[in-house]
Structure 1
């Protein structure tokens, strides 16, 4: 195998890469987003410098990804924190759990998404939109929302999904010390809103040592949305190198 072949491989193993080269187009993603107020001290403790904190707002999200280029069909869930960077409102992805190995590998290696294996679900139960997250055999989150109660405008729907997004990428070297430690930025631009709604919502988080969503406890629900989209994820760009 020559150097050109090695360098042209999207990922290991080279005879069957974990994921193909992009771009990665997502057709028909369906979002359940519940935004809640949490404990200010717990919130500040997990927001990395140089990001700033205003209100301690967390978005718990469950996303169905039924048609994802090169990755297939999967569901993911996690917590996104409302922050600011250089005065600009932004999101910081704190945790993500999903049921698709290629998407986990791609998110961690080619970008900086903090992805771990989990078992999220998004489904309709009678008149209720339901999002759940299990870690192993244990339930760690249950979200419910009235199904399509009140339509919302495209601008509000875009604000839920298309804000500048920051992530923390940490990769150790062979000596165990950080080899890459960066804050990176991404922002969805190729986005189509198919429909969006709000309604009454509730969220329960359950204690777990390795899926510690409940470390950011639910104090007050401040909003909920159900959004249907098409989108393309752009490449992430580093904005701060902690090792420099």
Structure 2
């Protein structure tokens, strides 16, 4: 393989890339979102400067994605924290767990999504929408919501899933020194809401050393939503360079 051909490759392995170079469109994406109040001191331990905490809230997300361009079908779960940066309100992605290697590789390499391998599931159990997250053989989260009890306005659903998203991108060189340490921003585009509902909801988080969701404890559930949508994943851009700040 010529050097010029190597430079054209998008990712490794060279002859069988972990993910394609394409526009990532999500069709029939299904959300179960539960917003809960947590401990402010615990939030301060995990939200990096220069992001500012707005309220001691966390959004626990379950996302079923049956049709994703280039990535196939998978389910994802995670914790999202409302924050403010330079006067703009958005969400900080604290942790994400999913069951699809190409999505993990793309999210970590090309963007800055904090993705880890786990087993989330989202399904309907009789009259209940259920989300579970297992790390290895152990349950670390169980979320439940009454199935389609009350519709919510599309504008409200759009505002919930269309907010700016902030993440930390960290890459180290072979000496162990950081080569990239950035705060990045992205925002989903081309959003179509097919339906949105709310209802009674509960969330249980279980302690685990390597999947520490319970470090942000559930003190009170303050809201829940079930949203069906199509959307497109936008590229990230750097908004703060930690390395430049230290020079």
TM (norm. structure 1) is 0.99
The residue aligned with 2:91 is 91
Q: CA deviation at 1:178?
A: 1.3
User: 1 CA distance for matches of 2:6 and 2:199?
Assistant: 51
The residue aligned with 1:52 is 52
How do 1:1-244 residues align onto structure 2 when only pairs under 5 Å count?
Answer: 1-244=1-244
User: 2 CA distance for matches of 1:65 and 1:5?
Assistant: 33
Q: CA deviation at 1:19?
A: 0.2
Q: CA deviation at 1:2?
A: 2.0
Q: CA deviation at 1:4?
A: 2.9
Q: How many residues align?
A: 244
Partner secondary structure for residue 111 of structure 2? coil
The 4+ residue runs of structure 1 with deviation greater than 2 A are none
Q: CA deviation at 1:175?
A: 0.8
User: 2 CA distance for matches of 1:179 and 1:76?
Assistant: 29
Q: CA deviation at 1:188?
A: 0.9
- Of 110-119 and 6-15, more deviation after overlay is shown by 6-15
User: 1 CA distance for matches of 2:227 and 2:4?
Assistant: 43
Q: CA deviation at 1:61?
A: 0.4
User: 2 CA distance for matches of 1:227 and 1:191?
Assistant: 12
Unmatched 5+ stretches in structure 2: none
User: 2 CA distance for matches of 1:227 and 1:96?
Assistant: 18
Q: CA deviation at 1:107?
A: 0.1
User: 1 CA distance for matches of 2:174 and 2:98?
Assistant: 27
Partner secondary structure for residue 156 of structure 2? helix
User: 1 CA distance for matches of 2:81 and 2:30?
Assistant: 20
Q: CA deviation at 1:3?
A: 2.9
* RMSD, aligned α-carbons: 0.7
User: 2 CA distance for matches of 1:221 and 1:204?
Assistant: 10
Deviations 1:146-172 (A, max 9, x none): 000000011110111110000011111
- Of 2-11 and 68-77, more deviation after overlay is shown by 2-11
